[in-house]
Amino acid sequence: MLQLTSVSYQYRPKQPWAINDISLALPRGSFHLLSGPSGAGKTTLFKLLTLSLLPTKGNLTFAGKNVSTASRTELAALRRKMGVVFQDFRLLPHLTVQENVELPLTLHGALTPHNKEAVKEMLEWVGLTKLARKPAAELSGGEQQRTAIARAVVHQPELLVADEPTGNVDAAMARKILHLFTELHKHGTTIVLATHDTGLLKSQHFPVIHLENGAITNPGESA
């Protein structure tokens, strides 16, 4: 599904490498946890995985396509196969909860009546049905997080990349979110979940990619 071969990333020439010679394979249907201290390169790797950045060196292949040689249209098509949960949610504050969740479908030209039903079901699942018409700007942190998660999975992505998706919700909602992710995983979605939550890291049996100083410290477990 996603393969990184000797990938390095540098924000500007002569600056230190934010990601240094990482090789990583995320087979279709796998579930990986991504951990590491602040400044380890998690955010840069997250951006590489979501194709927001392209490698300075090395190859990143997603769905059989080398992203460095892909055209802008091809990159957009590859991004449509992904769902992304940002740590800071990145909801559009002037849109309602429902409009935010519908956004990927709108952008993909796939907001069919059938998919509108899927949006309603998704909102019900994350417990936001009553808030569907409320502007995102008026939501609490937890509500925003749930909206962001619903937006990331509403179009049934092949790869879901989530940055601290349980960071702002209570324990019950965190369990529910993890349950959703494991359900998606069972249905074949490839998942990468970045987290600081040591409890979560210990409680799950999924392989962990541990980053430090821009490099993977446990390559045997991840590559």
Partner 1 sequence: MPAARALNLKHAQVFQLVVIITALLSWVIALGAASTSILQNLYANWQLGRSNSITLYLPPDADAATVHQLQQSLPTLAGVTGVAPVSPHQLQEWLTAVVPNPETLPLPTVLEVNLAPTAARPQILAHIQQTFPTAEIDDHQPLLAQVQGAVRSLQSGALLLAGVMLTLMVLLVALTVRTGLAAQKPVLHLLITLGADDALLSRLVTSQVSRRVLTGTAIGTATAVAVTGAVALLNPTLASCLGANTWSTLVLTPLLLPIVAAITAHLTTSRLLRRLA
Site residues, partner 1 (CB under 8 A): 50-52, 72-73, 76-77, 79-80, 82, 84, 90, 92, 94-95, 98-99, 102-104, 106-108, 111, 151
The smaller minimum CB distance to partner 1, of residues 107 and 137, is found at 107
Least spacing, CB of residue 210 vs partner 1, in Å: 25
CB of 68 to partner 1, least distance (A): 12
Q: Measured between alpha carbons, how far is 123 from 104 in angstroms, rounded to an integer?
A: 15
Contacts of 165-169 with C-beta under 8 Å, sequence gap 24+, read: 165/85, 165/193, 165/195, 166/195, 166/197, 166/200, 167/87, 167/195, 167/196, 167/197, 168/141, 168/142, 168/144, 169/142, 169/145
Q: Provide, rounded to whole angstroms, the least separation between the CB of residue 177 and partner 1.
A: 20
Residue 104 or 165: the one with the smaller Cβ distance to partner 1 is: 104
Toward partner 1, which CB reaches closer, 79 or 146?
79
Who's near 25: CB < 8 A, 6+ residues apart? Answer: 2, 3, 4, 222, 223
Q: 65 or 218: whose CB is closer to partner 1?
A: 65
Min dist. Cβ of residue 104 to partner 1 (A)? 5
Extract the tokens encoding 204: 């799950």
Tell me how far, at minimum, the Cβ of 122 lies from partner 1, in Å: 15
* Residue 192 φ then ψ, to 5°: -125, 125
Q: Cβ closer to partner 1: 103 or 200?
A: 103
